[in-house]
Every structure is written in structure tokens, then in C-alpha cells.
Chain A
């Protein structure tokens, strides 16, 4: 592989533009760089960040290859600036054994556009009854376990999962949703859902599980990760739990930072997601919590769905929305343009913290000589208009359709190799 020079880039958006030389997948020099016979990517002053890491992606393979495959999802990830993604376990068959997780990892390596890390199920079949073989899957390389889509609701099973995970140096990621409080739930329980006649999904159904799990994690001395935090109350619980020394981390999705349940008035299920879109007050609090580090990182919960599963009456539609190719822009819109985060902060929430939470040694690293060249180059000044049909994903269910958003990915580098440049995949 030829050496690569990123010309005129600003690491973390700071200082004057510099050149970055990458050789053998590693950052070889930063500053004034001369290298014969090197490929160059023109930065024009773009912001250089560590490659993004998504702790929460649904790649749908195996099972629903009509909506996304590991190949198309990897392309979407590379175009979105990601160098590592965690593929959730709710495939068909479920990734609750080493055969499925090894298959997902191998397909990811074959595609080679992004590091695909399989998430293992916490319980067999995501049924919440019997622990899956966490140890065997951990030996196969699984770092994160989750029944996402379902809550590990039984407190005893959750306690055992947390305790057992300690010996494996892995983290359990909880989809916090008390199922007894969300039977038939369709929308955030509040004024909007009441007006629209949609069965409520109360904030307390999330908050009560997060509170319980924080208590269990502290008691077990185990690590806990909270998926897609959606309410002010959960942020409050996390703040309290962290203050008393709980080893808890948390993610927020781009859609919960930007969208609110006001959008439900059209009954268009493109806005249906679990946990549901909450109020403007919640979105504002989630932004603050992310800026303060109460919420550690941004994760997409990228969830491709076929047209026939979305273009239906509200209650029949599946929950979930695309996220990989819009995440950066929404973080720029909600966090950077508002002054809540600088580019160091973006690096923290999009790359460094998720890499730390999952224990990835080669992702989310500092932009320094000798570090692996997993990098994302961002043009913060250009805007673009979202068109779901143009995404690399097979599905097109983006709630951001037609929105003009700031920030584009100029190039993505995986171990020094360009995976995406100028909005196109390079394989």
C-alpha cells in the first residue's frame, strides 16, 4: 500500500492546517511532510478526527438481507465516517452463540470497510430467561453483550449477567424498558400521544430499569452500559449513579438529540422508534448531559426497515430509523453549532469514549505519530440535503429526509486505507 498524505488538515479543528503522512497503516509524521510517490487527499483545512465508533448498529445480516447486509451497512458506516461498528445481536438466527458471532465478524473482515464487531446476546434467543454462553462468545472476540430490542427485565437474570461478565472483561449493554409498563406502547406517554390516541411509553419505564441496573452494577462491582438514553430522568439517574461510583456508561442517539414527539402528528411511522421520540425538554437535557459527560457517547441505533414494514398504519410499523450516514451531521447541528461541544468533544463522544467502553485498543486513539491511522476527515462548513434513496443502506427509512444538515465526511481511513472519499466508497 502506497503511503498517503492528508494535505492541509486541522487535527481536532485546532491550529493552522498541517499535512499528515500515513505509512503502513500508522501515522508516520505530522507537520510539513514530503514523501515521493504518495497518494494525497486534499483536506482544504478540514477537521481531522479519530475514526468514529458506533456501539449500536443493526446490520440485519443474517436474516433480513432485504433491508441491509454487512456489506451495505459497512459502506454506510464508512461514508458516515465510522471505522468500527458494533452489530447488534437481534438477527435471525440470533447472535447468541459463537457460530453466528464468528460469521458476522468474518463477513465484516471480508467486506473490509469498517471493523465489524459482533454484539452477543445476553440471553438465549433474546428471551430474557437463560444466560447465553457469554464466555464462549467472549473467547470468540465479543466485547459487548446486549439483548437490544428487548430488555433483560428479570432482575435476577440481569444481576447474574453483570456478575458473570466481570470475569470476561466485557460490558453488558441494557435496552432499558420495563415491559410491564410498555405493553402495546406506541409513543412517548405525554400530551402528544394522548391527543393522537397512541398508547403511552412512559419515561419511568426506562428510568426505573436504569436505576435498578445501576444499583445492581454497583452491588456486583460490574460494568453496565445503557443503550439509547431518551429521557431527562435517565440522565438524572446516571448522574447520581456515577457520583456514587457506579461503573456505568451511556449512549444517546442522534435522533433523540434532534427530533421530538411533535413529529408524530402525521402518523408517519418513519418517526416510530424504540425508545420513542420524547419531548423538546428531553432533547435539550440529553444535549446537556452529553456535553457534560453524564452521557458518554453518541450511538446511532441504525435500524434499517423495508418499505412494507414502515409504510403502514402506525401500530403495524416496526420501530427504528437509519442513522449511520446522518449521525455526524446531527451531532454538528445539535452539539457543535450550539456551542455545547468543540471538535475535541466530538472526538470524545463519537470515537474515544465508545472505543474505551468496548475496550478497543486500536480505535479512538490520539492523532499522534505512531498511532493507528483510523481517521475521519470532516468538512464542517458545507451543508447537504438528506435523501434516503441515495444512502448506501438498502433501506431508506430516514426521518431526516429533505433536511439540510451541516457537516460532510471528506474521507474515512481504516488503518491507513481510504474506505470512503468525497461521498464514495473506495474498496
Chain B
């Protein structure tokens, strides 16, 4: 594996290998006083974040550091990025400065793909940490890792993704990955928040959350961004919450074993009731914890797994 740009078309065996690596890394580090493996010593990993992000950037940074890589963070303020330098020039500069891997978050869909093209000659690996409305592959991998911990094999598991699918890179990456792993995915959203042509995706579409809940193994809530709330995609936050929010009443409709996921940051009271977010059914902090191990596994498969790169 040279890059991780998307989960679309991912080989299920490859995905499973990353998830298995993540699980063994987690096991290896558990209970250790010094959480540091020497695997990526001497490797340089640069994170390039063109959008505000706390959890993803920190998660990648910790993942790199626990693997002993040298991690450098570049953000769009405090670098030449703010001076109007093109994405291509910034990428070539970072590669020339010695990056073995560039982790990029960018508001433009396809930015990571473009970066991989520009960095082909330099041989630098690219990880997509979220590109516009396109994909966020490590988020999907950490969601899958969390679901596997709670549910075991994901084949034929029923998973609903609820909310703003239209603008969500998390939803796209999860649809590709979860269906590749054999899960049965349902998208629950008002028609204004579903992409045109969604009928051709390998998923079921629903506008009725209550009807779906009793048969689910997991429900994944998507963040509703503030700009959507005023964009006329739905009449009001109140109506959204009534129709699609995971309330305490709705939690009771879920089977006992069902898991609640949220990629964060959460809008408590709107997408998810506070009591639900804090209940043992919610795996939200597990997601964050697993994020580090999954990103370690991704860096391992990109930078250290020589036979795969040969």
C-alpha cells in the first residue's frame, strides 16, 4: 500500500489486515508504562491541515509519535500556506524537506488524490485525513475497528448512518468500507441531505429513524454543521432533532447489544441526547482511542511493511 486516499474499492483483505494490525498494536500497548514502539524510527511524517481539526490531527500525531516517527505539523495559519502558496508547491516543499508521508486534510474534494499525483516522483506516501465532501478513510477504519470490538465480525450486521450524508466524507468512507466488510448499511436522512444518485449506492435508504432502530446492530450519527442549519436543508434544529436526533426514547427502541457511534464533535441535544452520548451503549470515546491504533496501523502498512510496498 503506497497511499491511503479512499476506502472506495478497498480490498476487504487489505482493510481487515489494517484492522488486525490495529488490534494487535492496541493489545501490545495496553498496560504498558512506556507507549512507544521503535517501528518508524528515522521516518518523517508531516501533517498538513487546511481545516480546523483537533481530534484527527492529534490522533495522527500521537500515532506517529508512539511509532517513534518524527512528526511535524503544518497548519494553514503559521506557514506559507497562509501566504497564498499553491497546494502543489507546499506539497513539493514538504516532500523535498524529507517527508516520507504526508497526512493531508483539505476543504477541496480530491485534494489528497492530487497530492499523490504531484508527489509520485518524490515517492512520498499520502494519507487522506478528510477531503471536502469526499472521504475520510481513517475515520471509517476506526469506526470499523470499534464496531468489530463490540460486535465481532461485521458480515450481515445492520448499521444505520443518520444525518447529513450529502456533505459527509465520513458517511462516504463508511459506506464503502462497511459494505466491503459485508455489513448491511442503511442511510437515514431527509431527502435534502442525501446525494443525488444515492439510489445506486449499495445501501438502503430510509427517512424514518424509528422504523429502523429495532433491527439495528449499530447506529452512527453524523455531525450537522452549523452552516447547514441555516442553508434551508431542513426547517429548524428543533424539527431535525425531533425527526433524526437519537433521544433517550429512541435509544430504548434499539436492541440491547446495539452500539451508538458519533465521529464528533457532537451537538448534544440536537443530534444526540446527552444521556445517550454518555451511556455505556455509546462507543464514542472508544472511537477516539481506536483512532490512534488504526492510524498507527495505517502508518505501519504504508511505511514499514516492506513486503507490501515491494
Contact = CB atoms under 8 A, between A and B. Distances in A.
Interface of A: 186, 189-200, 202, 266-268, 308, 311-316
30 contacts: A190-B197, A191-B197, A192-B197, A194-B197, A196-B134, A197-B109, A197-B131, A197-B132, A197-B133, A197-B172, A198-B109, A198-B132, A198-B133, A199-B133, A200-B196, A202-B196, A267-B109, A267-B113, A267-B114, A311-B86, A312-B86, A312-B88, A313-B87, A313-B110, A314-B110, A314-B111, A314-B114, A315-B109, A315-B132, A316-B108
A379 to B, nearest CB: 36
Interface string B207-242: 000000000000000000000000000000000000
Interface in B121-163: 131-135
A203 to B, nearest CB: 10
B109 A196 contact: yes
A268 to B, nearest CB: 8
B195 A194 contact: yes
Nearest to A192: B197
Interface in B221-275: none
Interface of B: 8, 86-88, 106-111, 113-114, 117, 131-135, 169, 172, 195-198, 200
Given A267-B110, A313-B111, A315-B107, 12 more contacts: A189-B196, A190-B196, A194-B197, A195-B172, A197-B135, A197-B169, A198-B110, A198-B134, A266-B117, A267-B114, A314-B108, A315-B108
A315 B108 CA distance: 6
A313 B196 contact: no
Contact of B109 (A202, A266, A314): A314
A315 B131 CA distance: 11
B108 A311 contact: no
Nearest to A188: B196
B48 to A, nearest CB: 12
B114 A313 contact: yes
Contacts of B133: 197-199
A191 B200 contact: yes
B196 A197 contact: no
Contacts of A189: 196
Contacts of B200: 191
A196 B112 CA distance: 12
Which 3 pairs, one residue from A and one from B, show the smallest C-beta to C-beta distance?
Answer: A267-B110, A197-B134, A191-B197
Contacts of B113: 266-267
